[in-house]
Chains A and B, each alone.
Chain A
Amino acid sequence: MAGASLIERLRDPSETALGVLLLAPAFLLLALIVVYPIGTLIFNSFFDLRLSGGSGMKFVGLENYLLVLEDADFWNATWNTVLITLITVPGALVAGLGLALLANLPFRRQWPVRLALLLPWALPLAFAGLIFAWFFHTEYGVVNDVVRRLGFGSEPTMWLLRPGWAFAAICLTIVWKTSSFMALILLAGLQMIPRSLYEAAQVDGATRWQQFWQITIPMLMPSIIVALIFRTITALQTFDIPYTMTKGGPGNATETLAMLIHKTTIDYLDVGYGSTLAVFMFVLSLAVTTVYLRRIGRQA
């Protein structure tokens, strides 16, 4: 009898039951690939878990967290990550906006412009890092060649071996690589702006410059914020480009948080401490995302 009623209920579920039933697969999948790994990460962060020592898994409470706060490497990597974010996100926004405006011009043939825009985006991050590492190579790099031909200094600059220059080179590479993504989002936003707004502004007396500041930028703001959110989150996770260009060097001058986590967990096999570092990065990303999302909420 009970079995029959269950079949009945499955055959004709209530609206709520149907909703739960339809959403369940997606929820399960999310739980498996998002909630479970994050949960494991937080769980591991409370343990001394070194795969190299064979000492097993020992609960240490908040000890890892206290260690992280006193770890100079952590603060160095966090500072580098924040600095890279602060430089490359606005950099990519400005470069991307320029590219988007260029691609939005009424060219007779649109596809070469769009292709040029897409190519850096389609390139794997590690490739971009390797290409630019060659550009900045002390002996064989094109940058030093150009500098020499232009007559600036006879001695080749060791771009990737000087902390400041290495940092600048990495930032430049990231801006080059990521501005096309910015441009794509901004181009979509630009194409959504009705032409009649520009015409109304022209009739109202606006110059091109005034149209840009009074129409384009405000109308583009939602796209700019979306692009900034995505770019900031990925900037906080910067890994591939500095890893392929400098391996974090010279010293640890260009080491980012993601690289430190990688080094701790994969190279040193210290899963417990590595997990704790990862929790810090997670919190940092969460904080930034929350700020942006609140901003979007206010705009909506």
Chain B
Amino acid sequence: MAQVELRGVTKSYDGKTTVIHGIDLEIRHGEFVVFVGPSGCGKSTLLRMIAGLETISGGEVRIDGRTVNDLPPRNRDIAMVFQDYALYPHKNLYENMAFGLRLRKTPEDAIRERVMNAAKLLRIDHMLERRPAALSGGQRQRVAIGRAIVREPKVFLFDEPLSNLDAQLRNEMRTEIKRLHQRLGATIIYVTHDQVEAMTLADRIAVLSAGHKMQYDTPDAIYHRPAALFVAGFTGAPPMNLVDCELAQGAADLGGVRVPLPAELAARGAGQPALKFGVRPENLRLVAAPGDVPVPAEVSLLEPLGAETLVTLKVGRAEVVARCPASFREPPGSAVTLHVAPAHLHLFDAASGAALH
């Protein structure tokens, strides 16, 4: 277990193209931190900089208080699980897992013990003689994780480890990784583009966009108090409804329909030239609760998902999506009234993207 600190870390190629812009992060002992963001946001580059597989153009990476900028990967005491597993095809599973220990001149009986323990933990102990080519994707990923575990490193780094697996296997492996973290209590930095993976696994999530850190907080805070328009739009499936609005008499005017805002929120929005109004689909309800504000709307599209139905509605000039019970049957064109708790309303400065809460 270790703590990892990034201080003003930047990465640029040829001194011209900057892909990571001065990122500060602090990852505590035993914490599970997920870097999430769309393709090209720099999350994998940042992870590889921590691993020592990419040079650091500026700033500092510290592991347990020691600056590791100039240390090669082998001296950083980290283990990494790669997206394509990167198992050695010419070695059997046992040798794949034992390789790192052999290089560190670990005694043979200690190697055997550690490999067998990891293999049992990952339920691959019956196939240690096989080569990677004889394994399924899920089994390969287990071996890759096993190879990391046997090293007992200070920090585990996972680079999109589940993205090559099918949906069902991905869910299973996600649960296993979470269990593994609970059992090992290790410091884990995990990169993914899948916000569901991020939400389910992380103690804290760093949301990245175009090489900038947009927000670094708990999954709960990321979801319920997004610090930026990008974070609000990136998290949740479907994501938060984000609609252009104007402020009028303490309410958000969505083009004919006014949604009253809490006084504090309205005050923060006052004077901003352009605003975005935000509300999550599950916070738009058909049944009113005490204190809810009504929002008149017109049904335009139904998407039944079995357990629930996603309903696209017109609210003023805008379109929003609401998460409704599966029993919702109102046909397109019918008028309904949605209800929303004022605490669930968000307002963003459209120009800077910053949240106004």
- A-side residues, CB < 8 A to B, are 194, 196-197, 199-207, 210, 214-215, 218-219, 221
Min Cβ gap A299→B in Å is 10
Which of chain B's residues have a CB closer than 8 A to the CB of A221? 90
Residue pair B103, A204 in contact (C-beta under 8 Å):
yes
Interface check B78, CB cutoff 8 A: yes
**Contacts A197-B86, A215-B88, A219-B90 known; A203 to B51 CB distance under 8 Å?**
yes
Most buried by B among A202, A204, A206, A218: A204
Does the CB pair A200–B86 fall under 8 Å?
yes
Q: How far is the CB of B292 from chain A (nearest CB, A)?
A: 52
B126 at the interface (CB under 8 A from A): no
Nearest CB in chain B to that of A198: its residue: B86
Docked Cα-Cα span, A221 to B90, in Å, equals 10
Cβ–Cβ contact A196 & B86, under 8 A = yes
Contact call B84/A205, Cβ cutoff below 8 A = no
Within 8 A of A (CB), among B72-90: 72-74, 78-80, 82-84, 86-90
- Cα–Cα distance between A154 and B4 once the two chains are bound (Å): 69
The answer to whether B100 has its CB under 8 Å from any CB of chain A is yes
Q: Is the CB of A197 within 8 A of B88?
A: yes
Contacts of B151 in A (CB 8 A): 204
Given contacts A199-B82, A203-B79, A204-B103, 9 further A-B contacts (CB under 8 A): A194-B86, A202-B53, A202-B72, A202-B74, A203-B53, A203-B73, A204-B100, A205-B104, A206-B74
Name the contact of A206 in the complex, choosing from B80, B82, B90, B103 (C-beta under 8 A): B103
**B244-291 CB contacts (< 8 Å) to partner A:** none
Q: How far does the alpha carbon of A203 sit from the alpha carbon of B157 in the complex, in Å?
A: 10
CA of A194 to CA of B83 in the docked complex: distance in angstroms?
Answer: 12
In contact, B53 and A199 (Cβ under 8 angstroms): yes
Closest to A204 in B: B100
Query: What residues of B have a CB within 8 angstroms of the CB of A194 in the complex?
Result: 84, 86
- Contact status A204-B99, CB under 8 Å: yes
Cβ contacts under 8 Å, B80 to chain A:
199-200, 203
**What's the least CB distance linking B56 to chain A, in Å?**
16
Q: Does A214 contact B99, Cβ atoms closer than 8 Å?
A: yes
Q: Is the CB of B90 within 8 A of A205?
A: no
Cross-chain contact B86 with A202 (CB below 8 angstroms): no
Contact A203 B88 (CB under 8 A): no
CA distance A221 to B88 in the complex (A): 14
Are B90 and A204 closer than 8 Å at their CB atoms? no
Bound together, the chains give a CA A194 to CA B82 distance in angstroms of: 12
Min CB–CB distance A108 → chain B (angstroms): 11
List chain A residues, Cβ under 8 A from B104.
Answer: 205
Decide yes or no: A200 and B74 within 8 Å by CB, A205-B104, A210-B103 being known contacts: no
Q: Which residues of A contact B100 (CB under 8 A)?
A: 203-205
Take A199-B53, A214-B99 as given contacts and tell me if A204 and B84 are in contact as well, using a CB distance cutoff of 8 Å. no
**Bound complex: CA of A214 vs CA of B96, how far in Å?**
11
Q: Report the minimum CB–CB distance from B105 to chain A (whole Å).
A: 10
A196-B84, A219-B89 in contact; A204/B74 too (CB < 8 A)?
Answer: yes
Distance between B86 CB and nearest chain A CB, rounded to angstroms: 4
Name A206's closest neighbour in chain B (CB-CB). Answer: B103
Q: List 10 A–B pairs whose Cβ atoms lie within 8 Å, in order of A's numbering.
A: A200-B82, A200-B86, A200-B147, A202-B53, A202-B74, A203-B74, A203-B79, A203-B100, A204-B103, A205-B74
